[in-house]
Amino acid sequence: MEGLNLDYMLGLLPVLLSYVPLTLFMAVTGMAFALILAALLAVERVVRVPVLDWFVRLFISFFRGTPLLVQLFLFYFGLPQVLGFLAGINGVTATIMGLTLHFSAYMAESIRAAILGVDRSQWEAAEAVGMTRGQMMRRIILPQAARVAAPTLVNYFIDMVKSTSLAFTLGVTELMGAAQKEAAGSFLYFEAFLVVAAIYWILVEALSFGQRRLEILLNRAHAR
């Protein structure tokens, strides 16, 4: 086995790092939309609006039941053939859409479980002071469910950061796509993909650090 070409790797690092903002942009945007959508889906699953509940269950079933890659191809290559207004969709938009829908389905289930885990007394106290269902959810139930769901949701976010690499299959030159291009030019595949792996790893470690801080923040109401 020949030695690693460290000079090449060091030179490649800044090139690839310049793609980190795009990766984070896709992940953060996708996460923001996914959180909102998941919260709505979860509340619906708890309240069970007739008819709507059926659609929500179908939605969750489909987006959990099919691979993200297949969904991305459907949005990017498939849907524009059927829906004219999607003809100009770019790879980044399609990726964010796919990440949002895919992960919201998973996150909805963990938020739903967290909502159901909030003690009955909290619901009753909110009802007793005359809150509407919306106020009760926003002000009392969801904040407490968030604390329970946070570790799982951060896990999904970590997964989402890594899943942005699939954008490369839609022709987006992001972190993974750039590494692929560089490697194809230099034939130093191992070095190039090692650098890209290291970058993802460090990103995720940074997020895990953020996760611990977040949990401390969310637990402040429960610290004695």
Partner 1 sequence: MISVAGLNKSFGGTPVLRDITLDIAPGERVVVIGPSGTGKSTLLRCLNFLDRPDSGTVRIGDLSVDAARATRPEILALRRRTGFVFQNYALFANRTARQNITEALVTVKGQTAEKANATADRILAEIGLADRGDSYPSALSGGQQQRVGIGRAMALDAELLLFDEPTSALDPEWVGEVLDLMRKLAETRQTMLVVTHEMQFAREIADRIVFMDEGRVVEEAPPDRFFDAPEDPRTRAFLRRVTDTR
Query: Which residues of the chain form contacts with partner 1 (CB under 8 A)?
Result: 119, 121-122, 124-132, 135, 139-140, 143-144, 147, 220-224
Find the shortest distance in angstroms from Cβ 118 to partner 1. 9
State which residue, 17 or 217, has the beta carbon closest to partner 1: 217
Give least dist CB 52 to partner 1, A: 18
- For partner 1, give the closer residue by CB, 97 or 118: 118
**Count of alpha carbons within 13 angstroms of residue 1, beta-carbon side:** 4
Nearer to partner 1 among residue 213 and residue 224 (C-beta)? 224
Shortest separation between residue 221's beta carbon and partner 1, angstroms: 4
Q: Identify which of residues 136 and 195 has a Cβ nearer to partner 1 in the complex.
A: 136
Q: Which two tokens stand for residue 167?
A: 């954008």
User: Nearest approach, Cβ of 150 to partner 1 (angstroms)?
Assistant: 13
**CB-wise, 113 or 131, nearer to partner 1?**
131
- The Cα–Cα gap between 168 and 204 comes to 19
Nearest approach in angstroms of CB 131 to partner 1 is 6
Q: Minimum Å distance from CB 145 to partner 1?
A: 10
**CB nearer partner 1, residue 135 or residue 208:** 135
- DSSP per residue, the chain: -PPP-HHHHHHHHHHHHTTHHHHHHHHHHHHHHHHHHHHHHHHHHHH--TTHHHHHHHHHHHHHHS-HHHHHHIIIIIHHHH-GGGTT--HHHHHHHHHHHHHHHHHHHHHHHHHHHS-HHHHHHHHHTT--HHHIIIIIIHHHHHHHHHHHHHHHHHHHHHHGGGGGGGT--SHHHHHHHHHHHH--HHHHHHHHHHHHHHHHHHHHHHHHHHHHHHTGGG--
